[in-house]
Structure 1
């Protein structure tokens, strides 16, 4: 069963994830292309994540929200120099100057 079928608040969590990635990308002064290169992902996929839009449509013809895999989350976290848990923690909003403690 896809996450979107059993979690009624999936949309809110997906949008928060996108907001965190957008905020971190802007804070670090990264272009979509640079973020994609650092993460080893396509620029098109990064663009969809940043726009809170998946690449597939639902039964109503509307685009589904992105649902990145663990691999994608880890790649983005590494590229943005942030702990992956920050990106998926729906109890924490978008924070400024979030970085890993090294």
Structure 2
């Protein structure tokens, strides 16, 4: 079976995914280690995704469950991690890595979507939903 989207083309999508992941992780104030703890994936996998490297011959290619685990830990929709999520898949990703903090479809909906997590959450407390994301919580800026 022919490779419809060759590995060389996937690298452009992987590059934007890696930039989005890193930007969101840093925006939230998380270390790779803490994101790994919260998402239940290894720190080396987070590092590989952020470097867009699976091994010496391939770009990062995360599973669907990995993307959802990371999105859950970052409290963002999975769409926030996906490159060119509002476009038809092309031979190369047309999205500029500079746009990693915007998801054109539906996110971010408000300032709380990109707010830094509370220090207690960042420092290794229980892996529960941060206070600003609890039901009924309001964002105070």
TMscore range, shorter length? 0.7 to 0.9
Q: Computing the radius of gyration over CA atoms, which structure comes out larger, 1 or 2?
A: 2
* Structure 1 alignment gaps of length 5 or more: 57-61
Which TM-score applies when normalising by structure 2? 0.58
User: Runs of 4 or more off by more than 3 Å in structure 1?
Assistant: none
* Structure 2 alignment gaps of length 5 or more: 87-94, 115-132, 136-141
1:63 CA drift (Å): 3.2
Check the 8 A contact 2:35/2:73 in 1, yes or no. yes
1:89 CA drift (Å): 3.9
1:6 CA drift (Å): 2.1
Larger helix percent: 1
CA-based RMSD: 2.7
Aligned residues: 94
Superposed, which structure 2 residues align to 1:1-102 within 5 Å?
5-8=3-6, 9-54=9-54, 56=55, 62-90=56-84, 91=86, 93-95=99-101, 98=108, 99=113
1:85 CA drift (Å): 1.4
Which TM-score applies when normalising by structure 1? 0.78
